[in-house]
Amino acid sequence: MVDPKAQHCPNIAYRPITPSDLQVLEKIHADLFPIRYESEFFLNVVNGRDIVSWGAVDRSRPGSQSDELIGFVTARIIPANESEIADTLRHDPSRIDQTLVYILTLGVVEPYRNLGIATSLIREVTKYASRIPTCQAVYLHVIAYNDPAITFYKKMLFKCIRRLSNFYYIQGQHYDAYLFVYYINGRRSSCSPLYRTCHCNDNLYEEPV
Share of the chain above pLDDT 70, in %: 82
Residues in the chain predicted with pLDDT less than 70, given as ranges, are 1-8, 90-96, 187-209
- Give the 3-state secondary structure percentages of the chain, helix then strand then coil, rounded to 5: 30, 35, 35
Residue 6 sits at the vertex; the CA angle it makes with 4 and 11, to the nearest 5 degrees, is: 145
Judge contact between 138 and 182, C-beta under 8 A: yes
Question: Who contacts 131 (Cβ-Cβ below 8 Å, separation ≥6)?
Answer: none
CATH class (in words) of the domain with range 12-183: alpha beta
Domain locations in the chain? 12-183
Residue 32 phi/psi, 5-degree rounding, is -95, -30
pLDDT tens across 51-65, in order? Answer: 999 999 999 999 999
